[in-house]
Amino acid sequence: MAIRNIVQVGDDVLRQKCFPVESFDEGLMRLLDDMKDTVKKEKGAGLAAPQVGVLRRVVVVDMEKEGYFEFINPVILAQKGEQTGWEGCLSVRGKSGIVSRPMKVKLAYQDRTGEKRILQAKGFFARAVCHELDHLDGVLYIDKATHVEKN
Ligand code: CO
């Protein structure tokens, strides 16, 4: 387990489309373990693999209420409603912005063993899921924000 360096906005790796995970091997386990250490240390709500320089469809989300999640090859199956609120990103240090997101999402993903799962998220959890999934397609919240300011 190790803390990985977080790539900052301006680096091209954050603008790439990530590849699906095909083998649930040792390298994936190490990536997931390191992402956990890194997001906990940084006290982030989530982290996507491209933020540590890895172009794979892997995200982690760490919620005070719902708990800690690992999503591999995640896909949003359905979304409902809308919420507008403040968001930040570990790759955009010192800033926050106002972004509209769905209020609820239904997500299909694989866990670290490769097993397929479905999950429903709402409120801030749904916001975090949408934010992290955007990273997998090279999208940052600042692309969608109606307002961004320095903290
Ligand atoms: Co982010």
Ion ligand 1 nearby residues (CB, 5 A) = 89
Domains of the chain with CATH codes: 12-150 (3.90.45.10)
- Is 82 in the active site? no
Q: What is the mean pLDDT of residues 134-141?
A: 98
Alpha-carbon dihedral 137, 43, 7, 74, rounded to 10 degrees: -20
Q: What is the pLDDT of residue 12?
A: 98
* Confidence tier at 1 by pLDDT (50, 70, 90): confident
Distance, CA 107 to ligand 1 centroid (Å)? 18
Distance, CA 89 to ligand 1 centroid (Å)? 4
* Catalytic option among 22, 42, 87, 132: 132
Q: What is the mean pLDDT of residues 3-20?
A: 98
Please say if the pLDDT value at position 25 is more than 90: yes
Structure tokens at 30: 């190490």
96-136: per-residue pLDDT in tens? 999 999 999 999 999 999 999 999 999 999 999 999 999 99
Distance, CA 131 to ligand 1 centroid (Å)? 6
Those residues whose C-beta lies under 8 Å from the C-beta of residue 26, and which sit 6 or more positions away, are none
Q: What is the pLDDT of residue 132?
A: 98
28-65: per-residue pLDDT in tens? 999 999 999 999 999 999 999 999 999 999 999 999 99
Cα–Cα distance, 81 to 85 (Å, whole number): 14
Q: What is the mean pLDDT of residues 84-97?
A: 97
Q: What is the pLDDT of residue 101?
A: 98
Distance, CA 135 to ligand 1 centroid (Å)? 7
Q: What is the mean pLDDT of residues 77-91?
A: 98
Distance, CA 91 to ligand 1 centroid (Å)? 6
Task: Note the pTM of the prediction, 2 decimals.
Answer: 0.97
Please check whether residue 18 is in contact with residue 136, taking contact to mean a CB–CB distance below 8 angstroms: yes
Q: What is the pLDDT of residue 5?
A: 97
